[in-house]
Amino acid sequence: MREIKFRAYDTYTKTMLPVVDIIKFTKSEDLYITQDGAYGVGINIQYQPYIELMQYTGLKDKNGTEIYEGDILKYMAIADGEQIDKVIFDRGTYVVDYSEDYKQPVNEINHCAEVIGNIYDNPELLKGE
């Protein structure tokens, strides 16, 4: 079973935040992210809509770096050579957004892929977007 982990990108301050815990308060419908292991410190997503959560895929790249949704991977495609694509969640699995017609599952390429950035800090790595 894969480890369930998240990270968060604050689009206002343009910083990646570690996520230690996600708490759902059912009565108030508030979702909090706590950082640094302290339950008293949190970000209320309901009032800070500029927080983007990214889930860990459960996979690591060829260098041992954890792969998250929103990461940008460089890898070798059999037919097209070196490719650079973003990781998305599509139809129940994590894939690289290879083309409109084909999505390559990350678990088929992670052993030869390298995380080279993410869609927030390095959008220029993705051609044509």
Per-residue pLDDT of the chain (129 residues; tens, 9 = 90+): 778 888 888 888 888 887 777 766 555 555 666 665 444 445 555 556 678 889 999 999 999 999 999 999 999 887 778 999 999 999 899 999 877 778 889 999 999 999 999 999 999 999 765
Closest CA to 52 of 72, 70, 65: 70
Alpha-carbon torsion angle 80, 83, 86, 87, nearest 10? 70
pTM of the model: 0.82
- Tell which CATH architecture fits domain 59-125: Roll (2.30)
Q: For residue 100, what are its two tokens?
A: 């409109």
Name the DSSP letter for residue 73.
Answer: E
Assess contact for 54 and 89: CB atoms under 8 A: no
What residue spans define the domains of the chain? 6-53, 59-125
Residues whose CB is less than 8 angstroms from the CB of residue 6 and which lie 6 or more positions away in sequence, other chains included: 19, 22, 33, 53, 54, 55, 56
